[in-house]
Chains A and B, each alone.
Chain A
Amino acid sequence: MAEQVRYERIGPPRELRRRTRRTTWRCRIYHVPEERFHRADAIHVAAHAVVAFDFGIPIRRAVFDGRHRVFEGAWASLAYARDDASTEARIALERDCIAVQCGVVGRALALGWSHKVWGWDDQSLACDLMERFEYDSGVVTGWFNYQRERARVLLTDGATWTRVELLAQRLRAVRAMDGLAITAFLADLRTEATVVPSGAAWRTPPTPGVESNAVLVWRRPTLTEALRGMDGYRAAQQEEW
């Protein structure tokens, strides 16, 4: 094969990169969770920890302490130096971002809400991280949505969700766990039953895209819809059945 030309990696100027100097990520819930949402908020923290554990990312701590108002998960990132544009660095960064996204997605799963919620600090952290590789907003949005869906797929797996639920319970009981305690807890976990999130909130979105405020908007058909018609998901499900 002919030698390929490698262009200089495109990226924003250094001062635009905010939290990217750090190598430890801390996903913190800054509001004080209401009592009725405590289970969901504990699942938020536990989901970070379980997925980071599954990815082999060393966890520092997970805290769910209502008395001192600290609710956070922290881990040592495996992402590489910020100017490293290698494939390995990209994979490591993507895993970090998925672990970041799992909190919000896990909380939404626990509450039965749509997982496409927004406005959370975790998501801005994920966007900051993605700035290492991409500055084009279209690519960042696409990557972000892909990571969120991967987080959903990971968490809706019965084995993962069961561990998340159990770790969340444990976390509410002991308030804080360090990395070793979490690793030991997850490694020793043996359950006979499997818990799955209800998933009641998810249904096939009507097409063309109808937002919740009932304004009819046009959106591009997705890959599945382009191949199977605008009712792509349902058609696929019927084929499976």
Chain B
Amino acid sequence: MTITRLQRGVTLADVLVHEAGHAVAAWDLGVRIGAIHVHVKVREGRMTFASDVGLGRFPIGSDALRFAIEREMVVLHAGLVAQRRFHYEGAWGLVPRTDYEGVLATALQVETDLRLIDEWSDYAEERARTLLELPQTWRRVEALAVELARRPVLHGDEIEAFLAGVRVARAPNARLAYRRREAKEQYCLSHDPQGRTPVEQAIAQATRRRR
């Protein structure tokens, strides 16, 4: 999965959040992370993971294979979803070709009907969105993005250790949150576009220190 600066609106922070989104989704879903490489100067990033589907670990036609494909599709979508949540204007019109090609290639392992693949991809994208909207997950994405500004190359073990060590708030009571309208809105719609400023500042600070 790579993302390059395809348009003027994409900042370094966007690239870092994009890669962090992939990594956190993979970590959360139990997909083994390979590494993240970020080229800070050219604002370009790449995250790799060990694809159980690509390695042929599941029998063809099995439910396990279909489920693994779905999981990897969620991971592939998570980058742009995180980037869009972080900086919507910067992601407008952006097509992460390698991610989408990965989704298509993965889905083609079991399905050939393109309309079905399109709907499946939409569904996986929605699942990625709900996963990243969880406050705990989003906190990890932000923390990993800042860490990537400090250390542009992180290997799988380092990422897993880092994410396990991030201190997150206790998960709120979802049932209570669902019942109380204000709490629900606080829980589901807690994203504030201005919330990215501290993250951007931390990334800028980390980048300056590296220099």
Contact = CB atoms under 8 A, between A and B. Distances in A.
A143 interface: yes
Contacts of A10: 174, 178
A1 B134 CA distance: 22
B171 A146 contact: no
A149 B115 CA distance: 7
Contact of A223 (B30, B100, B136, B174): B100
B121 A222 contact: yes
Interface stretch (A65-73, A160-168, A226-234): A226-234
B179 A233 contact: no
A138 B115 contact: no
B114 A13 contact: no
Nearest to A148: B119
- Mostly, the A contact residues are helix
Given A4-B30, A7-B134, A223-B100, A149 B164 contact: no
Interface stretch (B6-14, B122-130, B190-198, B199-207): B122-130
A8 B136 CA distance: 12
Interface residues of B, number: 45
A233 B119 CA distance: 13
A5 interface: yes
Contact of A224 (B30, B117, B125): B117
B103 A150 contact: no
Nearest to B173: A8
B39 to A, nearest CB: 24
B95 interface: yes
A91 B67 contact: yes
Interface in B93-133: 95, 97, 100-101, 103-104, 111, 113-127, 129-130
B32 interface: yes
B104 A223 contact: yes
A143 B130 CA distance: 13
Which of B121, B122, B134 has the most A CB atoms < 10 Å from its CB?
Answer: B122
Contacts of A13: 175, 178-179
Nearest to A91: B63
A135 interface: yes
B163 interface: yes
B28 interface: yes
A3 interface: yes
A142 B73 CA distance: 14
Nearest to B67: A87
Nearest first, the 8 closest Cβ-Cβ pairs linking A and B are A142-B123, A2-B164, A222-B118, A142-B126, A223-B121, A149-B116, A2-B160, A10-B174
5 contacts: A2-B161, A5-B136, A146-B116, A153-B113, A224-B117
Given A91-B63, A142-B119, 18 more contacts: A4-B27, A4-B164, A7-B134, A8-B171, A8-B174, A11-B174, A138-B130, A139-B127, A142-B123, A142-B124, A145-B122, A146-B119, A146-B123, A149-B115, A149-B120, A150-B116, A222-B122, A227-B101
